[in-house]
């Protein structure tokens, strides 16, 4: 039984209505994991496991040792959270950390200040709400990510969530792929738009139907960011769904055997795919798959049904769209109108909407959530959205099933909580890694840059007028902040021991993803807000009506931006 399903919980809030609920097997696996990790930690603390031996073990459980303290990354499988899980995240922040946590760009939740010896207890608490930290780091298959609007998006073709769960189970403690050459990330998208950035993942999957109406997958391999950013290549245009796992196994086996291990900067699958060419890589996979196809890993109707039944629609009411009533509220409350235009997305059901809670108010590290906010979000989820919430790779939280007639009331509550900043998709909705304030690998801080830009662009009307702009910041070339695929990307670099920042323009995360072009020499921290302001000036001067930043950039190219930013001051 999922903890959400304790006696007395209203039927409409039962977890089985909106997320995968563990059975005794799933539960036993995570409990055995807690015991295993408790023992490993004890052996490490007793000196029986050397640091080098413990490191890969703790990493596979999401535990980094960072600049000031360990960092624990908790897995949020494909971004789905129940109210009890949100309350547990709050409790961990309160009891084991400094009262807040961080939503990562891979939909996970990170704690920045736990104590190593507390981690086994934290994992035990997580296990009580069907959560864990398995494979959230290390050279193994990581958390599967997807569209934060999965299951409710009006443009959805196929719900990706059952597939994510099937892949999650297959990847969990996969014995053959526990020590890959490097980390391995899989993303699934089920919609016309690609909100899961599948083209920059090691494997990207898209469920599709062929002309006969049969279900299958388009399979992409070899995307990734980091120091060698590459947009992946599709190697299979239609893989019948029954063969998903055997095909994944074939890809991973080719990678595990032939991926480079001599140089960790050349160890990602993208380097292998590039070296062989996507065509040859595809042939190798096909040759391997020929042996695995139709074996015991072949998926069954029964399994698909067992998993998919957890992702059926919640008990939606028959409602009508509230356009007129909402327009009237807009007219009366400009703040509501603004919020609605940015933070409220369409829904496949009339009368419903998906609401994004912005974790990007000025002055707070992008993606940070306090324990009180987690608790409050849990309550709001139960009152407004069937008890469910999602995390997004843009580092925000979503209530996916809100009745339009309740939007106004919800907006009021969110404002009280500091979660109603109306900036989703705008310049100040910055995607940002922890950077030098927390991360030991950083070349430069990233959070203060985000804040400086937010402060410079503090005029909401202006930011609204600028329209959609993705701005991404990474503190080093590991690219945890996805700076390559930001319309504006900022990368921390080290120049003779000083923190500098390189700017790139024109990146794009969605379908037909593209990598940004570097503007030129890097800038000092204090200049960054000015630099971004100049980039924006050029856009404002050059745009034609309704043209997004990215479209203007694609039309006019990088030179006008260069000229302005590097012009000598008179």
Q: Which positions touch another protein (CB under 8 A)?
A: 23, 25, 28-29, 32-33, 36, 40, 53, 56-57, 139, 169-170, 172-180, 245, 253, 256-257, 261, 291, 295-297, 299-300, 302-303, 306
514 binds ligand HEM (CB under 6 A): no
Question: Is 435 one of the binding residues for ligand SF4 (CB under 6 A)?
Answer: yes
Residue 128 touching ligand HEM (CB under 6 A)? no
First-to-last C-alpha distance (Å) of the chain:
70
Q: Three-class SS string for 481-534?
A: CCHHHCCEEEEEEEECCEEEEEEEECCECCCCCECCEECCCCEEHHHHHHHHHH
User: Does residue 390 bind ligand HEM (CB under 6 A)?
Assistant: no
Least gap, CB of 75 to ligand SF4 (angstroms): 18
Asked whether 111 and 101 are in contact (CB, 8 A), the reply is yes
Q: Does 164 bind ligand SF4 (CB under 6 A)?
A: no
- Edge-to-edge strand order for the sheet containing 397-403? 80-82, 388-391, 397-403, 352-357, 344-345
Look at residue 36 and give the partner it binds from ligand HEM, ligand SF4, another protein, none, a contact being a CB closer than 5 to 8 Å depending on partner kind. another protein
Residue number closest to ligand HEM, CB atom? 226
CB of 293 to another protein, least distance (A): 13
Instruction: Label residues 4-28 b or e (16+ Cβ within 10 Å = b).
Output: bbeeebeeebbbebbbbbbeeebbe
476 binds, among ligand HEM, another protein, ligand SF4, none (CB under 5 to 8 A by kind): ligand SF4
- Strands 186-188 and 145-146, by their bridges, are parallel
Q: Is 525 in the site for ligand SF4 (CB under 6 A)?
A: no
**Partner whose binding site includes residue 442, from ligand SF4, another protein, ligand HEM, none (CB under 5 to 8 Å by kind):** ligand SF4
Q: Which does 29 bind (CB under 5 to 8 A by kind): another protein, ligand SF4, ligand HEM, none?
A: another protein
* d(C-alpha 33, C-alpha 35), whole Å: 5
Q: Answer for the pair 131, 87: CB distance below 8 angstroms, yes or no.
A: no
- Rounded distance, CA 552 to CA 307, Å? 44
172 binds, among ligand SF4, ligand HEM, another protein, none (CB under 5 to 8 A by kind): another protein
Is 110 a residue that touches ligand SF4 (CB under 6 A)?
no
Please choose which of another protein, ligand HEM, ligand SF4, none residue 143 contacts, taking the beta carbon within 5 to 8 angstroms, the exact cut-off set by kind: none
Q: How would you list the strands of the sheet with 109-111, edge to edge?
A: 63-65, 70-74, 109-111, 100-103, 368-370
CA atoms of 309 and 466, how far apart (whole Å) = 43
Check binding of 471 to ligand SF4 (CB under 6 A). Answer: no
Q: What is the 3-state secondary structure (H, E, C) of 138-178?
A: CCCECCCEECCCCCCCCCECCCCHHHHHHHHHHHCCCHHHC
For the CB of residue 475, give the shortest distance to ligand HEM in the complex, in Å: 9
| Cβ distance to ligand HEM smaller for residue 75 or 480 | 480
Shortest distance (Å) from residue 274 CB to ligand SF4: 22
Stretch that binds ligand SF4, among 358-366, 434-442, 544-552, 554-562 (CB under 6 A): 434-442
C-alpha 105/C-alpha 148 separation (Å) is 12
Tell me how many residues contact ligand HEM (CB under 6 A): 22
Q: 234 pairs with which residues across the strands? A: 220
> Does residue 19 bind ligand SF4 (CB under 6 A)?
no
Cα–Cα distance measured from residue 44 to residue 56, given in angstroms and rounded to the nearest whole number? 12
**Does the footprint of ligand SF4 cover residue 439 (CB under 6 A)?**
yes
Rounded to whole angstroms, the maximal C-alpha distance in the chain is 73
Q: Does 434 bind ligand SF4 (CB under 6 A)?
A: yes
Least distance in angstroms from the C-beta of 527 to ligand SF4: 20
Contact assessment for residue 550 and residue 427, using Cβ atoms and an 8 Å cutoff = no
Distances (CA, A) of 513 to 44, 53, 162, 199, 559: 43, 38, 25, 6, 21
Question: At its nearest, how many Å lie between another protein and the CB of residue 236?
Answer: 21
Rounded to the nearest 10 degrees, the angle between the axes of helix 528-542 and helix 549-556 is: 80
Q: How many other C-beta atoms can be found within 10 angstroms of the C-beta atom of residue 336?
A: 21
Look-up: residue for tokens 């969110």? Answer: 414
Window 323-342: residues binding ligand HEM (CB under 6 A):
none
Contact status: 426 vs ligand SF4 (CB under 6 A): no
Nearer to ligand HEM, 184 or 457 (CB): 184
Among residues 173 and 316, whose Cβ is nearest to another protein? Answer: 173
230 binds ligand HEM (CB under 6 A): no
Interface residues for ligand HEM in 139-198 (CB under 6 A)?
Answer: 182-183
Region 397-436 residues binding ligand HEM, contact defined as CB under 6 A: 433-434
Instruction: Name the residue nearer to another protein (CB basis): 292 or 503.
Output: 292
Contact range with ligand SF4 by CB under 6 A, out of 35-43, 127-135, 463-471, 479-487: 479-487
Are 355 and 402 within 8 A, CB to CB?
Answer: yes
Interacting residues with ligand HEM between 94 and 123 (CB under 6 A): 104-106, 110
Contact residues for ligand SF4, defined by CB under 6 A: 433-435, 439, 441-442, 474-476, 478-481
Contact residues for ligand HEM, defined by CB under 6 A: 64, 66, 71, 104-106, 110, 182-183, 200, 224-226, 268, 433-434, 438-439, 441, 478-480
């Amino acid at each position: 039984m999922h903890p959400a399903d304790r006696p007395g919980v209203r039927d409409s809030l039962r977890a089985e209505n909106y997320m995968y609920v563990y059975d005794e097997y799933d539960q036993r696996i995570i409990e055995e994991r807690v015991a295993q990790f408790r023992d490993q930690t004890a052996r490490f603390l007793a000196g029986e496991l050397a640091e080098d031996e413990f490191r890969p073990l703790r990493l596979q459980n999401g535990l980094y040792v960072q600049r000031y303290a360990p960092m624990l990354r908790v897995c949020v499988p494909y971004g789905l959270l129940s109210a009890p899980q949100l309350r547990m995240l709050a409790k961990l922040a309160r009891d084991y950390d400094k009262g807040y946590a961080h939503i990562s760009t891979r939909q996970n939740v990170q704690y920045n200040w736990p104590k190593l010896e507390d981690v086994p207890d934290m994992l035990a608490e997580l296990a009580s709400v069907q959560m864990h930290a398995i494979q959230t780091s290390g050279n193994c298959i990581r958390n599967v990510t997807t569209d934060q609007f999965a299951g409710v998006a009006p443009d959805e073709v196929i719900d990706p969530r059952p597939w994510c769960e099937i892949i999650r189970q297959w990847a969990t403690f996969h014995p053959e792929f526990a020590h890959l050459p490097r980390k391995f990330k899989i993303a699934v998208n089920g919609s016309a738009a690609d909100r899961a950035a599948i083209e920059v993942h090691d494997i990207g999957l898209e469920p599709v139907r062929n002309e006969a109406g049969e279900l299958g997958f388009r399979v992409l391999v070899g995307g990734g960011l980091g120091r060698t950013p590459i947009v992946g290549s599709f190697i299979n245009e239609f893989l019948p769904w029954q063969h998903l796992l055997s095909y994944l196994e074939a890809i991973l086996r080719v990678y595990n055997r032939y991926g480079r291990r001599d140089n960790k900067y050349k160890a990602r699958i993208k380097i292998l795919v590039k070296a062989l060419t996507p065509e040859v890589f595809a042939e190798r996979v096909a040759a391997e798959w020929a042996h695995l196809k139709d074996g015991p890993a072949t998926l069954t109707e029964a399994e698909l049904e067992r998993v998919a039944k957890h992702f059926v629609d919640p008990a939606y009411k028959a409602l009508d769209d509230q356009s007129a009533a909402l327009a009237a509220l807009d007219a009366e409350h400009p703040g509501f109108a603004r919020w609605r235009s940015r933070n409220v997305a369409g829904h496949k059901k009339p009368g419903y909407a998906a609401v994004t809670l912005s974790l990007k108010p000025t002055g707070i590290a992008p993606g940070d959530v306090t324990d009180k906010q987690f608790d409050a979000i849990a309550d709001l989820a139960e009152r407004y959205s069937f008890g469910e919430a999602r995390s997004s790779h843009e580092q925000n939280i979503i209530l996916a099933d809100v009745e339009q007639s309740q939007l106004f009331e919800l907006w009021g509550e969110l404002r009280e909580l500091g979660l109603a900043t109306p900036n989703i998709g705008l310049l100040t909705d910055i995607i940002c890694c922890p950077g030098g304030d927390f991360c030991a690998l950083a070349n430069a801080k990233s959070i203060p840059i985000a804040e400086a830009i937010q402060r410079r662009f503090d005029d909401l009307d202006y930011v609204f007028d600028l329209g959609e702009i993705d701005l991404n910041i990474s503190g080093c070339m590991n690219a945890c902040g996805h700076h390559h695929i930001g319309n504006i990307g900022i990368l921390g670099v080290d120049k003779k021991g000083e923190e500098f920042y390189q700017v790139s323009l024109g990146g794009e995360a969605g379908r037909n993803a593209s990598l940004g072009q570097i503007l030129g020499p890097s800038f000092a921290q204090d200049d960054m807000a000015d630099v971004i302001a100049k980039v924006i000036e050029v856009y404002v001067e050059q745009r034609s009506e309704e043209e997004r930043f990215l479209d203007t950039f694609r039309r006019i190219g990088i030179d006008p931006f260069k000229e302005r930013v590097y012009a000598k001051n008179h």
